[in-house]
Homo-oligomer: A and B are copies of this chain.
Amino acid sequence: MQFQISDELIEKIRFLIESKDEEELLLHLEDVHHADIAEILTELDLEEATYLVKVLDSQKTAEALMELDTDVRERILETLSSKEIAEELQEMDTDDAADIISELPLERQQNVIDEISDEEHADHIVELLRYDEDSAGGLMAKELVKVNENWSVTGCMTEMRKQAENVTRVHSIYVVDNKDKLKGRLSLKDLLTASSNANISDIYIPQVDYVSVHTEGEEVARVMQKYDLEAIPVVDEMGRLVGRVTIDDIVDFIREEAERDYQMAAGISEDVVADSNIFKQTRARLPWLLIGMFGGLGAASIISGFSSMMELFPKLLIFVPLIQATAGNVGVQSSAIVVQGLANGSLRGHIWGRLAKEASLALVNGISIAIIVFIISSYFFSTSYTESVSIGIALISVILLAALIGTFIPIILDKNNIDPAVATGPFITTSNDVFGILTYFLIAKAVLGF
Within 8 A of B (CB), among A378-394: 380-381
Contact mask A297-322 → B, CB, 8 Å, 1/0? 10111011000001000100111111
Interface centre among A211, A266, A344 (most CB of B within 10 A): A266
| Other-chain contact of A267, B228, B314, B329 (Cβ < 8 Å) | B329
A230 vs B211: C-alpha distance when bound (angstroms): 22
Interface contact B266-A424, CB-CB below 8 Å: yes
Q: Which of A60-107 contact B (CB under 8 A)?
A: 67, 69
- Complex Cα–Cα for A288 and B289 (A): 23
**In the complex, chain B residues whose CB is within 8 Å of the CB of A320:** 320-321
A446 at interface by CB-CB < 8 Å: no
| B-side contacts of A289, CB under 8 Å | 326, 329-330, 333, 365, 369, 399
Q: How far is the CA of A377 from the CA of B228 in the complex (A)?
A: 58
Report yes or no: B265 in contact with A262, Cβ–Cβ below 8 A: yes
Asked if A33 lies at the interface with its beta carbon under 8 angstroms from chain B, I say yes
Q: Is there an interface contact between A1 and B211, defined as CB atoms closer than 8 Å?
A: yes
List A residues at the B interface (Cβ < 8 Å).
1-2, 31, 33, 35, 67, 69, 161, 164, 169, 188-189, 192, 207, 209-212, 223, 225-228, 230, 247-248, 250-252, 254-255, 258-259, 261-263, 265-268, 272-275, 278, 281-282, 285-286, 288-290, 292-293, 295-297, 299-301, 303-304, 310, 314, 317-326, 328-330, 332-333, 335-338, 340-341, 344, 346-347, 354, 357, 360-361, 364-365, 368-369, 372-373, 376-377, 380-381, 399, 424-426, 429-430, 433, 437
